[in-house]
Amino acid sequence: MKNIAVIGAGTMGNGIAHVFAQSGYEVALIDVSEKALEKALATIGKNLDRLVKKEKISEADKSATLGRITSFSDLKSGVKNADLVVEAATENEKIKLEIFKQIDEFCNENAILATNTSSISITKIGAVTSRPEKVIGMHFMNPVPIMKLVEIIKGYKTSDEVTSLIMETSKSLKKVPVEVNDVPGFIANRILMPMINEAIITLNRGVADVEGIDTIMKLGMAHPMGPLQLADFIGLDVCLSIMEVLYDGLGEAKYAPCPLLVNMVAAGDLGRKSGAGFYSWTHGTKELIVADRFKK
């Protein structure tokens, strides 16, 4: 595989485009928003600048990487030459299914269609295409250029040949792929999201405050980031969406989203991307400042 199409120029999409291009692949980065594409290319440039400053790559490597990325606002044009498409649109089942119907129509018959979904069924996504054996999950971790793990999720009809090829492709990106079965939440979020949800429940019931919960998990459990800070980093809307997938798919009360999480999302407090969640993100420093509503 040589030509990669990445759908979605947000945080995950630009990171995926970055690692493929830096590994020598030709990348078509696709988004309906020209502004999002401009922002993505600027972000990739800044991330490459940091690598140059740390002497991990040269200026020539940076220029070559950027030269391998072409932006498209038209889906059909962007995917027409792709050997592999990696969809990294918002974590919304309806949107993803519609995208896969379109790329199945627009791509050549040999193209592999991958999704960066963190929770939605690969089997369900594959079922809306004419090539379910070529549909697979490639769940990258955020931030993509730094995090080594890629969850490789095999749908009910995904072929062994496609799975093997995507495992090897992930290794070519200097990532560590782990094959996972197609169950709600897969592995990463099947374990992580209930922990985050339980931290929110603990806060909601007054067991401890925001700083207390995060400090205990950082210093007591050696987590680099507390669960509430991590929830803000991921996006509370994404956390809620994944918890709903777990609850709907597994039908167990322990996966029910905390009412506080539901209310925060409804109110528009989505974490870092909205400027407020469990912490305030509008002050422009790396210092963690607890959001006003959670201060004592």
Q: What is the CA radius of gyration of the chain?
A: 19
Q: Which residues contact 195 (CB under 8 A, 6 or more apart)?
A: 227
Question: Is residue 181 among the annotated active site residues?
Answer: no
Q: How many CB atoms lie within 10 A of CB 268?
A: 11
Cα 173 to Cα 295: distance, rounded to the nearest angstrom: 43
Query: Dmax over Cα atoms in the chain, in whole Å?
Result: 59
Question: Is residue 139 among the annotated active site residues?
Answer: yes
Cα 82 to Cα 102: distance, rounded to the nearest angstrom: 14
DSSP 108: -
Which residue among 119, 139, 197, 211 is the active-site one? Answer: 139
Structure tokens at 105: 């129509």
Contact 14, 43 (CB under 8 A): yes
Which residue among 71, 170, 189, 241 is the active-site one? Answer: 189
Dihedral Cα 269, 274, 275, 276, nearest 10 deg = 10
Which residue among 14, 116, 118, 274 is the active-site one? Answer: 118
Which residue among 18, 87, 119, 151 is the active-site one? Answer: 151
Residues taking part in catalysis: 118, 139, 151, 189
